[in-house]
Amino acid sequence: MATSATRRTAKPTKPRKTVAAKTAKKPSAKKTGKPGKQELRIRMYRVGFGDFFLVTVPSAKGPQHIVIDCGVTRGKTGKGDIASLKTAVRHMAATTEGQLALIIMTHRHQDHIIGFSRCEEEFEKFKGKVGAIWMPYWETEYPKVKQFQDDLEAVALQMRSAALTALAASPDDPTAEEIRGITENATGVTDEGPGGGTNKRSLDMLKRGLGVAPKYYAKGDTPELPEALVKAGLTAAILGPPPANEFDFLKMMDLKKGVGQYLDAVGVASGRARLMPFAREFIVDAREYPANAFREWTPRATGKAPDNTRHDNALLEAAVKAATPDGLLMAAKKLDAILNNQSLVVLFTWNGKRLLFAGDAQAGNWLSWLFDLDNPVKDPSDEDLTAESREILGSLAFYKVGHHGSTNATPISAVEAMGGDFVSMCSTQADTFGNPRRGTEVPRMPLLEALAKKSVLVRSDHYPAQVNGKNIPPVKGAPEHPPQLKQGRGRLEVGDCYVDYFI
């Protein structure tokens, strides 16, 4: 098929004496961050809560550039967008001199694609100068797939409208605020803050605005790399998303808490205690009732006998969910998971070094390729990773931390299988999504601590950025200096709006 830390708001009284502070004074792409002739460079731009990566591969014909995602979102708290995206895109355009060998769009969330329309004028200059564009299978223009995506967007817009109505009545409603953040990310539609562009416009730019027809891939497909990258010694494998015949994996949000993902087993979805008036043995699923129990919720077939009337308890279930904020929030999270699980997961290999870019893959996407299962399971602790998965994870040189360090990405079994002495980069912005009291903060600290034991972990929000002459400080508690790498493992360099890893 080819088919939480609180953000530091005050400016520091004097610049920190770090690599970041020194390089931030010179934003010229030609003077900083330049790789050696035999170095591959992975650049993580600091855009806030979003992914924007530039991979530069050395070749006999000069550097070959790959852009992986370009987006940002305000999130639940409104603090995720630090207004540096346009600066970063201009910097990328100068660095690449208007030539891109490959653009990879992992999935259609705002924090991964809004830049393609928000910075439309800049990307239009790349028209005819892009070697290839890769997207997940779930972006194909097949009628059924397109209708599926259109339906998801319509649902997201309806939920966003409900959240805005609730916020108009109660501006501090945390549930409505979370729903707004999730659905804004799903659509790219926003009414305030640093804006411009929508997800729909970004998709149109990628599919029709750059002069090259995208290729759509799912797990197991053989991708077509541009010749320039092949000659540079790069290979690629597609590990996700799940293909159409594995749709159950696409729907799976989470793994068992404390076993599959980095969330306490006692963690709950809400901070409020739930009233349980009946013992569990007296609680049954709605499907256990006879169909005629829901007669009043079922459309009648005019002129036909009652026995032929179609009874559908899903109508009742939908009505109840629509009437409860927690139910609406759960529906929003389910939609969010489906879009995240569509993430294109790409494994690059260069000079024997493996680079894993996982997009925002959640539980189902990971399970689809980590284990040889017919159906997804909540608790994978009794399952064995395939030999191939174990070999991949055990030999990584670089890992792009999935889903900005969220608890429902990068399963425990994956971290345990990872080897040591590699670099992991997490593009994130603290205090944007989740809640530390519930163990759902993003990034999730137990996950990052586990990764830090296996790798040199680099967070984008640990470094300042320079935007239009203004300094955007790092989050509170950020280290004073970039981490040190072992000899022979490459080097790190911090620039005015990015962090580089040279291999």
Share of the chain above pLDDT 70, in %: 80
The closest alpha carbon to 43, from 346, 458, 448, belongs to: 458
Helices (H), 57-118: 85-96, 110-113, 115-118
Which among 209, 190, 188 is positioned nearest to 199, based on CA atoms? 188
Q: Give me the residue spans of the domains in the chain.
A: 19-267+325-502
Cα gap 311→140, rounded to integer Å: 35
Pairing of strands 396-400, 53-57: unpaired
Residue 472, burial from CB neighbour count under 10 angstroms (0-12, 13-18, 19+): buried
Judge whether residue 22 has pLDDT over 80. Answer: no
Classify 357 as helix, strand or coil: strand
pLDDT, one tens digit per residue, over 54-67 is 999 999 999 999 99
CB 56 within 8 A of CB 35: yes
What pLDDT, on a 0 to 100 scale, did the predictor assign at position 214? 98
| Residue 101 CA neighbour count, 13 Å, CB half | 22
**CATH 3.30.1780.10 at 19-267+325-502, yes or no:** no
Q: What is the pLDDT of residue 289?
A: 54
Alpha-helical regions (H) of 224-340 = 227-231, 247-250, 314-323, 325-340
Q: Tell me, what amino acid is at 413?
A: S
User: Which pLDDT does position 237 carry in this prediction?
Assistant: 98
Average pLDDT over residues 99-120: 97
Q: What is the pTM of this model?
A: 0.82
The DSSP annotation for 124-146 comes to: HTTTT-B--EEEEGGG---HHHH
Rounded to whole angstroms, the Cα distance separating 200 from 186 reads 10
* 360, 409 contact by CB (below 8 A): yes
Angle at 218 between CA 415 and CA 368, to 5 degrees: 40
The per-residue pLDDT for range 335-364, each reduced to its tens digit, is: 999 999 999 999 999 999 999 999 999 999
Per-residue tokens: 180: 């707004």
What sign does the dihedral 68-344-404-122 (CA atoms) show? positive
What is the residue-averaged pLDDT of the chain?
84
Burial degree of 240 (CB within 10 A; 0-12, 13-18, 19+): buried
Model confidence over 448-470: pLDDT tens digits? 999 999 999 999 999 999 988 88
Residue 137 in contact with residue 244, Cβ under 8 Å? yes
Lowest mean pLDDT among 114-128, 194-208, 452-466: 194-208
C-beta neighbour count of 85 within 10 angstroms = 27
